[in-house]
């Protein structure tokens, strides 16, 4: 017998058994704890990760068709389904209207902003509004009327608006009248001449003062051109022949009737009809007019011009014209009484003026 060898064999087996037990415990002690491990059990279902929700807190809409739209700004998906929002054809909360992307235009009832097209918004609703100037809408001539968005009186509407138009190209014209054409600017194709509605004594403030009186009267019907009007009047240093623009266009009354083809026709033949229409559109005849001017537009060399149109006493006198004499028109015309009548008038009388656009 060999006791030492048997002993060693038993001891070796014992140690191997102990080592195995200790190693198993060691592995279990240092391995991952299932209660704290982040490792996912492949047999358990995985919750979906929502990136948008994790960064913004707002849920991302789910595409129930299974296909994401190619363009997030598109109003429809690939399947033709209409998405929510302005232009989808359905009025959503906060929208006044929505007729669809193609129908929402600046000319339609519903604007691209899904708000109603109303008078005053600056957009013209086709077939309903004639105009819309937004905050600029007004009842003024040429304006757009607030509330209706229809044009206010304007050039071309067929109605002459006093103070803004001399004529209107849309107005009916009597073919029997010798009327000068009306331009698109609502002015006659010529220069306006009128008889003053006001009466003045010989103290006119000189020729310049008479011009100012004509300009004041012209402002009521021709404010834009009133500054050009001058009186057909002469003194010792001023006369229409040299101070007037020699017009190459017709002279015309406020009624539209032509009295002369141009300046040369006026001084050679006189007005074909009397200068009878006033700045207030009244028709007058048998009216005496301060002139001191002969048929050629020149000053009469007798010094009778109310002392340079500065005196209104009875002892002063001036040459006058007669605007029209219906009872004897041929004599009136042949003798050029329109500008130089054979009688003088004392400067204290109240007479009229001829006013010409220049």
Give the structural domain span for 238: 191-357
Residues 265, 295 contacting (CB under 8 angstroms): no
**pLDDT surpasses 80 at 320:** yes
pLDDT digits 0-9 by tens, 55-75: 333 433 434 333 333 443 333
8 pLDDT above the threshold of 80:
no
Q: Say what the pLDDT of residue 152 is.
A: 92
Q: Which residue has the tokens 């918004």?
A: 121
Q: Is 245 inside a domain boundary?
A: yes
280 in a structural domain = yes
The Cα–Cα gap between 270 and 341 comes to 13
Residue 23 lies in a domain: no
Q: Is residue 13 part of a domain?
A: no
Q: How far apart are CA 241 and CA 113, in angstroms?
A: 66
pLDDT of 33 > 50? The answer is no
The pTM assigned to this predicted structure is 0.68
| Span 139-194, pLDDT tens digits | 998 899 999 999 999 999 989 998 899 999 888 766 556 689 999 999 999 999 99
In Å, what is the CA distance from 303 to each residue of 2, 292, 295, 346?
179, 9, 17, 13
Q: Summarize pLDDT for 195-229 with one digit per residue, the tens.
A: 999 999 999 999 999 999 999 999 999 999 999 99
CA-nearest of 96, 158, 149, 153 to 124 is: 149
pLDDT band at residue 107 using 50, 70 and 90 as cut-offs? very high
Query: Does some domain include residue 328?
Result: yes
- Provide the pLDDT for residue 163: 87
What CATH code is carried by the domain that includes residue 197?
A: 3.10.100.10
Q: d(Cα 106, Cα 260) in Å, to the nearest integer?
A: 52
**Number of structural domains in the chain:** 1
Residue tagged 């001539």 (tokens): 141
Residue 348, pLDDT score: 97
SS3 call for 253: coil
The answer as to whether 315 is a domain residue is yes
> CA-CA distance, 120 to 132, in Å (whole number)?
6
Report percent pLDDT > 90 for the chain. 66
Cα distance between residue 257 and residue 263, in whole Å:
16
132 is a domain residue: no
Q: Identify whether the C-beta of residue 358 lies closer than 8 Å to the C-beta of residue 193.
A: no
Cβ atoms of 261 and 250 within 8 Å: the answer is yes
322 domain residue, yes or no: yes
């Amino acid at each position: 017998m060999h006791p030492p060898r048997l002993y060693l064999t038993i001891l070796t087996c014992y140690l191997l058994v102990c080592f195995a037990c200790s190693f198993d415990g060691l592995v279990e002690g240092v391995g991952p704890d299932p209660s704290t491990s982040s490792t996912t059990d492949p047999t358990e279902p995985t919750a979906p990760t929502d990136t948008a929700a994790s960064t913004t807190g707002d849920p991302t809409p789910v595409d129930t068709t299974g296909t994401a739209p190619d363009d997030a700004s598109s109003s429809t998906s690939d399947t033709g389904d209409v998405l929510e929002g302005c232009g989808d054809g359905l009025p959503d909360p906060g929208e006044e209207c929505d007729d669809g992307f193609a129908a929402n235009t600046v000319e339609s009832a519903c604007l691209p902003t899904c708000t109603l097209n109303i008078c005053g918004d600056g957009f013209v609703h086709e077939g309903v509004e004639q105009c819309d100037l937004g905050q600029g809408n007004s009842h003024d001539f040429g304006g757009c009327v607030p509330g209706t968005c229809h044009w206010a009186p304007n050039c071309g509407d067929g109605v002459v608006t006093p103070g803004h138009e001399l004529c209107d190209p849309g107005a009916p014209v009597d073919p029997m009248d010798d009327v000068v054409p009306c331009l698109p600017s609502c002015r006659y194709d010529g220069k306006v001449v009128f008889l003053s509605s006001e009466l003045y004594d010989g103290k006119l403030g000189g020729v310049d003062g008479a011009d100012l009186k004509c300009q004041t009267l012209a402002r009521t019907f021709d404010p834009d051109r009133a500054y050009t009007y001058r009186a057909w009047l002469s003194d010792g240093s001023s006369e229409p022949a040299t101070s007037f623009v020699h017009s190459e266009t017709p002279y015309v009354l406020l009624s539209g009737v032509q009295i002369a083809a141009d300046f040369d026709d006026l001084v050679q033949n006189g007005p074909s009809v009397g200068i009878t229409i006033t700045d207030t559109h009244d028709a007058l005849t048998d009216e005496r007019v301060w002139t001191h001017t002969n048929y050629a537009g020149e000053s009469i060399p007798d010094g009778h011009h109310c002392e340079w149109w500065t005196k209104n006493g009875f002892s002063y006198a001036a040459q006058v014209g007669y605007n029209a004499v219906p009872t004897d028109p041929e004599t009136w015309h042949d003798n050029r009484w329109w500008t130089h009548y054979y009688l003088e008038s004392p400067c204290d009388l109240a007479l009229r003026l001829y006013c010409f656009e220049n």
